[in-house]
Structure 1
């Protein structure tokens, strides 16, 4: 029994979800805010607060640079507040900025060049991507990377694979010209290609054969009973000893594999969001804090390595989400800075205020929608 399972048993089950959730979210939030903090310091910006969580402070201390490091009551995020910010979302306080002394202006965020402000803002999401790469790389170095060759074992009756002419023993070499090195590689391509025509090259007894397959959209249960809608061919992998291997990796190979894994999460996320707008995907798969807590608790029962993997995936997701051009998010700030760089001057205070209000409305609607999905998911699971 893992430590998280023991906590769950002790706390009537609640701790089995809350503790892994806080572990995962705290690491991701801390590194995101640390990215902002380090680049701000590098750019000469005074940081007045570094908080994990929102709301009332639980515990904290001041460092020698005057930054208040604190743990706050609501553990659903965090923030870094700079001199010249009106609030935790880095909305500029123009009245206070105009009243600053010359010394304060030198270390004020709002008075820094647009390039410096953009670097500080972009550093948060970039830190999330770096964290994910390092976690994936660390897991590959310590536990190795287990892969299964893309060899077909059994074929389901009435499946897309049967219609395409797959046979037991076929070894998939490529899909649409992209090399397939493992069964997982094939699953990743197929899962996001429901209804799309795929050209699959297989090795059949030493002979290369081209097949055309159209994955079917199906609801698939994961190991914890959660339903996911994915494209499937209807084949199972070969579990023969020669088709399963564990690859040990050195630091450089692990970092490369970690970067590839991170890019896959980015690509899959963007494909899913694009599928929602195109009508190919359902938005009910979007989850919020409740779903993250549930998944964290479930994954924790599989072990610490699995929880680290979830941490990396969540780190990528939060980094990517923050880059969306929505005011209040990092991407919204970067959008404003891009406009400022093009115009040669910032947007008017009124325009920024309207933008932040629109951004707040969008963020609140997304939170409400995600929470509704979470509650619906719990009620039907």
Structure 2
């Protein structure tokens, strides 16, 4: 249960922050946001505040912001039976599509035609009457969907496509950008919790007593410039080089914090690790505890992860694509289960890493993803007019099918990896 709750918490935070980006910039552009949902599938809970209905749905595998006029189909159709709630001017204030909700003073109608975009009316046969009756619909009238979700209708000027191209692009890109912001915040918090930033530079931190490093007179803050005349660029390079030479004298070029350089010969002690003899000189990683390092840690770590992901994506084209390089919900859950054992620090780091990954993945120019929508925005800007809704619908459908097939392959691969 602890692992399930951690998975829901981690995934929920990332999804909510992502969708909040879309939500905020849509509202800022004057687009009516009908629904802000966490999860997919059947509705578990909903609460209406202002113009937006906030819902929690059964499957915690993502979320969405439903913007008026944005890839949505109206649930109401001619021939459907609805219940109308009228105000004092006999204008429609609510249209009920839920057959399980019956209101005593509601007007039952079989819909023949309607327009909620410009003319704002609904027409149909009321009760047993044969003549068609037409009612005006308020701009802020509510629509009760079949599952009981309460949404607001949207005149054309409040719909997504009516916003300027710039505002639509901002709305599309805002989700991934908020993921990057979340990662920056997570890694900054982590730096303060850890008391500083763990450096990957070959700088000496702690020194074990009576170790080869201590006997050679090395000090905290010294930098390893080279080993056996081979330049050392990172802490990882240094560790791997030392591990390869247990009990063998090695020539170290050392640079002190004052900039002075000297050479020392150290012989790494032999230590058995997982059945293999490796060399160690008794030093720990350097932690930069300065305020500036802590404040910039989020930016540098986020940029580093973005760079690594871009290199990985580039390898798909140069080295060949493999599903083994991707992970889906099963892999995320399995990794979260392991991360839980490391405590709060591990969870925060995992949130930052996942958030960056989600941001990058959503920016890929694949139809149905934010990057695909941005690509269509760019095409619209070049053509000076948008693609037809029919063509855009076909493109989006292709993207959805591609992602669906990819998700099945990735999930099956995850199941085989973690359970077989």
TM-score by length of 1: 0.70
Shift, 1:353, TM fit: 1.6
Deviation string for 1:137-160 (max 9, x for gaps)?
Answer: 1110222223475379xxxxxxxx
Larger deviation: 117-126 or 140-149? 140-149
**1:246/1:278 CA distance change after superposition, 3 Å:** same
SS of corresponding position for 1:325: coil
Instruction: Say yes or no: does 1:350 pair with 2:401.
Output: no
Q: Aligned partners of 2:161, 2:239: CA distance in 1, in Å?
A: 47
Q: 1:29 aligns to what?
A: 15
Task: Out of 143-152 and 334-343, give the one that drifted further.
Answer: 143-152
* CA–CA separation in structure 2 for the residues paired with 1:359 and 1:127: 23
Count of aligned pairs: 299
Name the structure 1 match of 2:34.
Answer: 48
Match of 1:329 in 2: 369
The residue matched to 1:336 in structure 2 has which SS? helix
Render the CA deviation track for 1:46-87: whole Å, top value 9, x for unaligned. Answer: 110000001111112000x22001111010000001111343
Residue 281 of structure 1 and its aligned partner are, at CA, apart by: 7.4
Distance 1:17 1:111, change over 3 A: same
Q: Match for residue 11 of structure 1?
A: none
The within-5 A match list for 1:117-132 is 117-132=168-183
Matched, 1:316 2:356: yes
Q: What runs of 5+ residues in structure 1 fail to find an aligned partner?
A: 1-14, 89-94, 153-168, 189-201, 209-222, 224-233
Query: In structure 2, how many angstroms separate the alpha carbons of the residues matched to 1:282 and 1:86?
Result: 31
Asked if 2 retains the 8 angstrom alpha-carbon contact of 1:50 and 1:69, the reply is yes
Q: What is the DSSP-based 3-state SS (H/G/I as helix, E as strand, rest coil) of the residue aligned with 2:385?
A: coil
Report 1:64-143 matches (<5 A).
65-87=50-72, 104-143=155-194
Hey, what's the Cα distance between the residues in 1 that align with 2:157 and 2:281? 64
Cα shift readout 1:34-54 (whole Å, capped 9, x = no counterpart) = 111111111111110000001
Deviation by residue 1:319-339 (Cα, 9 ceiling, x = unmatched): 110001111110111011100
- Is the aligned partner of 1:204 residue 2:253? yes
Tell me how far 1:289 sits from its aligned partner.
0.3
Q: Is 1:273 aligned with 2:322? A: no
Task: Write out per-residue CA displacement over residues 213-260 of structure 1, whole angstroms, 9 at most, x where no aligned residue.
Answer: xxxxxxxxxx9xxxxxxxxxx9867542xx43333243x533422111
Among 380, 400, 406, the alignment partner of 1:340 is: 380
Shift of 1:172: 4.8
Higher RCO (Cα < 8 Å, 6 or more apart): 1
The answer on 1:18 being equivalent to 2:4 is: yes
- Per-residue CA deviation, residues 262-306 of structure 1 (Å, 9 max, x unaligned), is 111111112112223222775413110001001001011011111
State the secondary structure of the residue aligned to 1:51.
strand
SS of the residue corresponding to residue 345 of structure 1 reads coil
Structure 1 SS opposite 2:346: helix
Shift of 1:204: 2.5
The residue aligned with 1:288 is 328
CA distance in 2, matches of 1:349, 1:262: 37
| Equivalent position SS for 2:62 | strand
Quick check: 1:301 aligned with 2:352? no
How far residue 312 of structure 1 moved from its aligned partner, in angstroms, is 0.4
What SS class does the counterpart of residue 70 from structure 2 fall into? coil
In structure 2, the gaps of 5 or more residues are: 74-113, 121-138, 140-153, 205-221, 241-250, 255-260, 264-273
| Preserved contact between residue 52 and residue 70 of structure 1 (Cα < 8 Å) | yes
In structure 2, how many angstroms separate the alpha carbons of the residues matched to 1:265 and 1:321? 13
Is 2:226–2:253's contact at 8 Å kept on the other side of the alignment?
Answer: no
2:286 is matched with 245
Whole-angstrom CA distance in 1 between matches of 2:70 and 2:330: 31
Between structure 1 and structure 2, the one with the greater Rg is 2
Shift in Å, 1:366: 1.6
- Tell me how far apart the structure 1 counterparts of residues 329 and 238 of structure 2 sit (CA, whole Å): 31
Query: Bigger CA drift: 254-263 or 277-286?
Result: 277-286
Look up the SS of the partner of 2:364 in the other structure: coil
Deviation at 1:354, TM superposition (A): 1.7
Contact 2:37/2:63 (8 A) holds in 1? yes
The 3-state SS of whatever aligns with 1:327 is: coil
Name the SS for the 1:54 alignment partner: strand
2:198 pairs with one of 125, 141, 146: 146
Are residues 266 and 57 of structure 1, via their aligned partners in 2, closer, same or farther at CA, if it must alter by over 3 Å? same
Range that drifts further, 107-116 or 312-321 = 107-116
Q: 1:260 aligns with which of 300, 314, 324?
A: 300
Q: CA deviation at 1:310?
A: 0.4
Deviates more, 1:363-372 or 1:280-289: 280-289
Q: Quick one: structure 1 residues 343 and 19, their matched pair in 2 at CA, closer, same or farther if it must change by over 3 Å?
A: same
